[in-house]
Amino acid sequence: MPVAAPDAIALAATELGELARFDEPLGPFTTYKVGGRADLFVNVVKPADLHRVAAACRSSGLPVLIVGRGSNLLVADRGFGGIAVSLAEMANGIEINRDHSIVRAGSAVLLPVLSRRLASAGLTGFEWAVGVPGSIGGAVRMNAGGHGSDLSESLIDVSVFDLAASADRTLRADQLGLRFRGSDLRATTVVISARLQLAPGDPEAAHRELVKIVAWRRANQPGGQNAGSVFVNPIPHELSAGQLIDEVGLRGVRYGSATVSDKHANFIQADQGGSADDVRALMELVREQVATATGHVLRSEIRLIGFEEPSS
């Protein structure tokens, strides 16, 4: 069942024409593999398609969701009442300028893929990203990071498309409001590509670093249906969310089809065929119990789409 007004869906569909896909399941586009459907879905393959999405948003008033690779996305079981957009087929290129140690990567490029490509090219400073299962676009939006670094360390600027203005823009890194696991980018700002400044280095040494990071991730973090760390560390580099969750004794706790990981307490696993609403409910249970016991109010790293705000 659509969750947006049928008239609005019809208006948007008229603008989108053959691009529109109706009632599209979004779970398969996320690493949680659970959740509801989008009223409309568009797979963007050329810049002109974005102008049509912008026109559809203006005419219908529907919200837009840039899906990306879905590695930090949880869509409520009731779905998303708007237009979901994927750039996977348009923004997937990598251009490396070895003379200046600069790379331009499309927003759909996976971070581990880019990390390995750069290491092979003898460019260093992006090894940390080999274990982060997201895309460049998502990394810009949340200033992704790990192992003592983050995207802001190498980001020069980003090319974006503003759906509200139906226009392209280039934004410098210092215009993005980048902070620990966050930025000021609006939902209507679509990241098309990013330029990164790296440093020349030894490919073999970079490869050894990649192997070490991947081994650490496999030893310390679970696989399966999850979106990585659920909560932002309340005091970066000093106090971790996982430590607080462990202290409260919530490791392994289950709510319906969702479980706090036995391997890492800041990961929540979804059962195959499970419920996004169960994942969200378990997140709230963890947040409330940690706040009550420790006074720390954990902030979500996960983009929560289509959920009602907690009553408390």
Active site residues: 181, 229, 301
DSSP code string of the chain: --SS-HHHHHHHHHHHGGG-EEEEE-GGGSSS----EEEEEEE--SHHHHHHHHHHHHHH---EEE-TT-TTEEE-TT-EEEEEEE-TTTS--EEEETTTTEEEEETTSBHHHHHHHHHHTTEES-GGGGG--SBHHHHHHHT-EETTEEGGGTEEEEEEEETTTTEEEEEEGGGTT-BTTB----TTEEEEEEEEE-EE--HHHHHHHHHHHHHHHHHHS--SS--S--B--SBTTTB-HHHHHHHTT-TT-EETTEEE-SS-TT-EEE-TT--HHHHHHHHHHHHHHHHHHHS--PPB-SEEESPPPP--
